[in-house]
Structure 1
């Protein structure tokens, strides 16, 4: 690629990123199915599916699919409720104001763009929809602890919404795809009211203690040959 082509590609990438940001700002609510598949050395290791509903500024519902007893997470903007039907236990987490922020998939994705160099590699098709195929690589000087080598992104040409992306991290690859996407359908606040199931045990947890515990847990495992085995984490 010559210098002129590189400049054109960079300009197109910036235009696409701007369109994506503009679309994100116009989204008041959304619902979709998120499919997540992880691979290690080309072999599938895990497959998950979630039904997700979101409403600005920070209400969210996530239902984990594919199991007999579907677990539920509801965040009403102040309290996060986690329910596991198998144990019939509800975790109630009161979230302090300083930790209340927008948690939509699209915002998470667009925030990522500022941390990477984006290049465009033509068009593709997903579910019959024409998409831009983008490649994102970490900018120079980023901390090695980020551990992500590359992200491939497929952005819908019509709606400017990312319908799929792949994350490459060492020998691991994660695919995330959006299906059944609906935007600005007038989702009601009542969707984010959690009704405690009859007979369920409610456990109230301190958010900051939970946060500190999660941050202290080791995310990198050392394999027998001394190499690093990393764990990919996606926020849903």
Structure 2
């Protein structure tokens, strides 16, 4: 078995990204085949409330059995797997009735980032820092804590302000002067500060101490960065256009 970061693993990742860019998933595909085509989609199953053990069921059958919107699930899968894919207006309109499921998916993603991915990275950084000079130890903790606090603030704003506003529209209780355009104007890319943390670990920590751990945490940070980029894309290109349409519908009532 190759160690993490070996040439074979890197080649496999590159091959997957290259081959997946030319296809989209469909409702009649077996869910197992979808996962085989892009194993990173395993991360989406829990966020949608889908469990393993689905046998040879199709995507549509699995979604129906778990009361999950098949068009929404496929849209998110295609966003994650195909760099060139962006849903068209008609596709976004189609998931209008499923906006509550989209919000639930985004909330589950928040929980995963904070309580799983970032927790693991934080523990790894603590282990690495024990073998660093005091100066570098403080810098590692400072940059990670600043980033983590920014993520917490970002997610709290969405869950306390944006998501309740959207749910209010859906259930006929829109209030106040808030509009989704405000979210769009203030929607920052929360993954930007990860670049500083990556550079510290790659460029400025001296010596070979815990080299494999440093590579492992870098893989984790790169993966988190990519996942958060998709998360922001879903909010910018799916959630915001969908809510704008809902606002227009509300205004005509």
Interval of TM-score (by shorter of Structure 1 and Structure 2): under 0.3
So what's the TM-score if we normalise by structure 1? 0.21
Q: Which has the higher strand share?
A: 1
